[in-house]
Amino acid sequence: MFETFDSGSYDVVVIGAGHAGCEASLAAARIGCSTLLLSINIDSIAMMACNPSIGGTGKGHLVREIDALGGEMGLNIDKSFIQSRMLNTAKGPAVHSLRAQADKQLYHMEMKKVLENQEKLDIRQGEVIEILIKENKVTGVLLKTGAIYYAKAVILATGTYLGGKIFIGGVNYESGPNGLAPSKELTTNLRKLGLHLRRFKTGTPARIDMKTLDFDKMEIQPGDEKIVPFSFMNDSLNIDQVPCWLTYTNSETHRIIKENIHRSALYGGEIEGTGPRYCPSIEDKVVRFADKERHQLFIEPEGLNTNEMYVQGMSTSLPEDVQVKFYQSISGLENAKVMRPAYAIEYDCIDPLELNLTLECKNIEFLYSAGQFNGSSGYEEAAAQGLIAGINAALKILEKEAFVLNRSEGYIGVLIDDLVTKGTNEPYRMMTSRSEYRLVLRQDNADLRLTEKGRNIGLVTEERYNKFLERKRQIEEEMERLKNTSVTPAQANDFLRGMDSAELNSGISLYDLIKRPELDYDNLAILDQGRTRLMENVAKQCEIQIKYEGYIDKQLKQIDQFKKLENKKLSPEINYSHIKGLRIEARQKLTHVKPLSVGQASRISGVSPADINVLLIYLEQQRRKKGDGNEL
């Protein structure tokens, strides 16, 4: 055994400086805890090992919520983006999702700068090989150099580094993402501590040299003319955006892939880990969707000061020589030179069913876990979990009430509840379809939903809070003004005829006129003599709330029903084997997950509505015995 030495003490130690680790360490330090952020390589802080973007369908909601709570990701992408687009604008506002291309190097540099200048936060390069535990409670970490850092809480944010293994065709070797060093010894230690680890797999496409591409053969994909910031702290952003490009695979591409499918690490059997369902490799697409004649791919710049272009939609574990052939079979890529080959990476991760809703391990106190190590995929999912883990580690140390967002309060709540209640057998990806309350949980109102909560935690600054209060005031006053401002048939009918809208027989408020599908806040300006100039996000918020008022009210009633079951608390100490009427499977699942409410219990796979009724009867019996409420 090598010699160890005492390197100091911290309230919180965060292992890993990816997107989860950055948010976790910032949250803990900002709440007031001395925090140490450890990374195998400091140059990998906030590294975008895969796609050079933040946001996207469902993911944009997470970034907005992170920002509203006082996190950093939204602010950081606003400082480093090179193109911005709002997705799904042809659909309703519930599924509108912001996505921004990033300058990868600038994103890393800006986040590193924030971390370095954060009070109560230290950064250290080093590999953790052991979590120190005493009586099932964290006491610190041991580094490969022998350094021991004592800590009151530890957050695991190891990403894809644990047991990392790269696959390119028949070649495989131990490595973290992007050729960085993997972490091997910590996996062994975590297993010794009793954590159940699994193997997952993800992949990333090749990077190709911009100088070797023919963009005239591709479809240009410009950014939005009007840029919507990610952070609620920014009212507007203006930059010279760079374009992305769209092209397609073809029958020749598919022929090359099919003829070499046996050389794929995925299809050759070398990879044992489970890959992401919603981000399949190109060979997976060609096999699973054999009827499709082509698949789209986007050519995306990695930054303003590099020629590397990211081939979105073509991750693969095929050999390098095959990669070159199929890339060069694509229109515009005939002379493409590969700068970095595509690869698949396999890694160790925890079964998230071993975690509480606070992201603390159930069997090891003060050990928290966040990000891809929890079985999720994506920068945004990682950052959201990191924020919650950092918050809860700090709050527990300070002996304050834990912070849990439920499914009706945010996409972050959906993400964490899905992971720790339902578990996942493949890398979990956030999508709008996963939220049953998505009409209420829109990205445009994340600040209205969550800023007050962030303020109570201690993450929302005075500046942010005042800005939030002003936006809220303007929305409320404008909504009231629209209700109280009416127009007569004489004032409005000429305009309405021109808009193919039904004429009036009597006066009507502007509030009610906005509800008409063919009318909106902007085009009613001609009838609105008392209108003053408002920020665009204020006007848009008013319009959405008015147009979808009926649907929103209906969903709010559903949320009230949801909360009734969430408010029926369950103690983690309940012995479910003693509750008569529960099926054997339900007893096993409830004992394993240890739900904190009847609502959470109802979402566990294998627990039926009949089992929930048994639980409700049991709770009522216990309430009558104790005579002091329904919590056990």
Q: CA distances (Å), 32 to each of 11, 25, 36, in order?
A: 9, 11, 13
CA 242 to chain centre: 25
Closest among 479, 536, 545 to 510, alpha carbons compared:
479
Query: For 301, phi and psi rounded to 5 degrees?
Result: -70, 140
For residues 489 and 508, the answer to whether their CB atoms sit within 8 Å is no
pLDDT digits (tens, 9 = 90+) for 422-432: 999 999 999 99
159, HSE (Cβ side, Cα atoms, 13 Å) = 35
Q: How far apart are the C-alpha atoms of 136 and 305, rounded to whole Å? A: 49
Our CA dihedral for 28, 32, 34, 39, rounded to 10 degrees, sits at 20
pLDDT digits (tens, 9 = 90+) for 118-171: 999 999 999 999 999 999 999 999 999 999 999 999 999 999 999 999 999 999
Report the sign of the C-alpha dihedral through residues 595, 599, 605, 610, in that order: positive
CATH number for domain 462-557, candidates 1.10.10.1800, 3.30.420.40, 1.20.1250.20, 3.40.50.10320 = 1.10.10.1800
Indicate the pTM of the whole model: 0.94
Q: Please, what is the Cα angle at 450 between 447 and 452, to 5 degrees?
A: 100
Domain 8-203+347-457 has CATH 3.50.50.60: yes
pLDDT digits (tens, 9 = 90+) for 272-296: 777 777 678 898 899 888 899 999 9
Which parts of the chain have pLDDT scores under 70? 1, 278, 627-632
Q: How far apart are the C-alpha atoms of 374 and 428, rounded to whole Å? A: 9
Q: How far apart are the C-alpha atoms of 379 and 189, rounded to whole Å? A: 26
Q: CA distances (Å), 194 to each of 58, 187, 190, 223, 368, in order?
A: 34, 11, 7, 49, 14
Closest among 367, 348, 342, 347 to 356, alpha carbons compared:
367
Q: 47 Cβ partners below 8 Å, 6+ apart?
A: 18, 104, 108, 177, 178
**H-helix segments, 59-151:** 59-68, 73-80, 104-116
Give me the pLDDT at residue 25, please: 98
Give me the pLDDT at residue 535, please: 86
Q: How far apart are the C-alpha atoms of 319 and 326, rounded to whole Å? A: 11
Fold of the 567-626 domain = DNA polymerase; domain 1 (1.10.150)
Q: How far apart are the C-alpha atoms of 166 and 42, rounded to whole Å? A: 21
Give me the pLDDT at residue 628, please: 56
Q: Which two tokens stand for residue 103?
A: 């300058």
Three-state DSSP class for 78?
helix
**Topology alike, domains 8-203+347-457 and 462-557:** no
Q: How many residues does the chain have?
A: 632
Q: How far apart are the C-alpha atoms of 397 and 276, rounded to whole Å? A: 35
CA 4 to chain centre: 38
Give me the pLDDT at residue 632, please: 45
For residues 94 and 442, the answer to whether their CB atoms sit within 8 Å is yes
- Calculate helix-pair angle for 446-457, 59-68, nearest 10 degrees: 40
Report the sign of the C-alpha dihedral through residues 519, 520, 524, 529, in that order: positive
Burial class (CB in 10 A: 0-12, 13-18, 19+), 272: exposed
Closest among 361, 447, 351, 350 to 396, alpha carbons compared:
361
Question: What letter does residue 418 receive in the DSSP assignment?
Answer: I
Burial class (CB in 10 A: 0-12, 13-18, 19+), 413: buried
**Residue spans per domain, the chain:** 8-203+347-457, 462-557, 567-626
Q: 588 Cβ partners below 8 Å, 6+ apart?
A: 606
Closest among 42, 195, 200 to 131, alpha carbons compared:
195
